[in-house]
Chains A and B, each alone.
Chain A
């Protein structure tokens, strides 16, 4: 139970930081806060027993994302221009996000409670993975076993996505550098 209270406290902190991101106009501060939010998320994942996800979030989400954002800020601008649109646009945006939030909140009322071992998501294949993957793959970490063995094609697809993104980034920025020189 104490774990759950600390998770809730961290999620409240995340929401406060997200609200600060809404208000801030300094992009440098936004990038650093985004990195801080990634680390808090990694802590929450650890408390929820998702250690592999926590590692990835801390390394990839906080580390690489933050570096990329800082690089983009250094190549573009550090400050967001003040709002020049009509106030009605903001009201519509607020209504749209409140409406989608209300729909999702209504949907959560039917969700199983946090940590319920009999929740539908924890039955079916998950139970089989937990029971069989250590013996059938020889890997004690079930997340690794599923990622690399049972769902290896997913991971291959993921690598293809990252490769494509990398090729696109190189293509975009090389053109830019040649144009400059």
Chain B
């Protein structure tokens, strides 16, 4: 197979893997809970991008009926990710509400300071 075609065909997948790695790194290394949620959002965005790249069809159009359209993009991953985006916002809002409560109880949203409070 042609090397350029191979790289072009996989570049978007590699890009979403890179985003996923960055998101995972933020979640693991940052003690601040809001920053962790931001990292989780980067991670989610990477997964969504990967799914949408699967649904893409070259020379296709958006999956809405049109007389001139020959090929359509695959609508099924679009539906799955549509649901996932909305659920992601629901979980983000729950996480942020928990963070507000944690701040009220512990006086901090940093992991190490919370651990200190727990140890007494």
Contacts and interface: CB of A to CB of B under 8 A. Distances in A.
A15 B19 contact: yes
A143 B21 contact: no
A52 B81 CA distance: 10
B45 A41 contact: yes
Interface residues of B, number: 84
Given A75-B100, A122-B57, A155-B83, A101 B17 contact: yes
Interface string A104-120: 11001101111111010
A45 B29 CA distance: 30
A8 B28 CA distance: 27
B98 A56 contact: no
A8 B41 CA distance: 20
Contacts of A140: 64-65
A147 to B, nearest CB: 5
A181 interface: no
Contact of B58 (A18, A44, A115): A115
A85 to B, nearest CB: 7
Nearest to B65: A140
A101 B43 CA distance: 12
B65 A114 contact: no
A81 B32 contact: yes
A141 B41 CA distance: 28
Given A48-B53, A158-B87, A56 B15 contact: no
A129 B90 contact: no
Contacts of B86: 56, 60, 158, 162
A104 B31 contact: no
B117 interface: no
A42 to B, nearest CB: 10
A89 B38 contact: no
Interface in A113-147: 113-117, 119, 121-122, 125-126, 129-130, 133-134, 140-143, 145-147
Interface in B27-79: 28-32, 34-35, 37-39, 41-42, 45, 48-49, 52-65, 71-79
Given A61-B85, A84-B112, 4 more contacts: A50-B52, A56-B82, A68-B89, A141-B63
The 10 closest A-B pairs by CB, nearest first: A113-B9, A115-B58, A165-B90, A11-B15, A93-B28, A49-B73, A101-B21, A72-B96, A142-B63, A140-B65
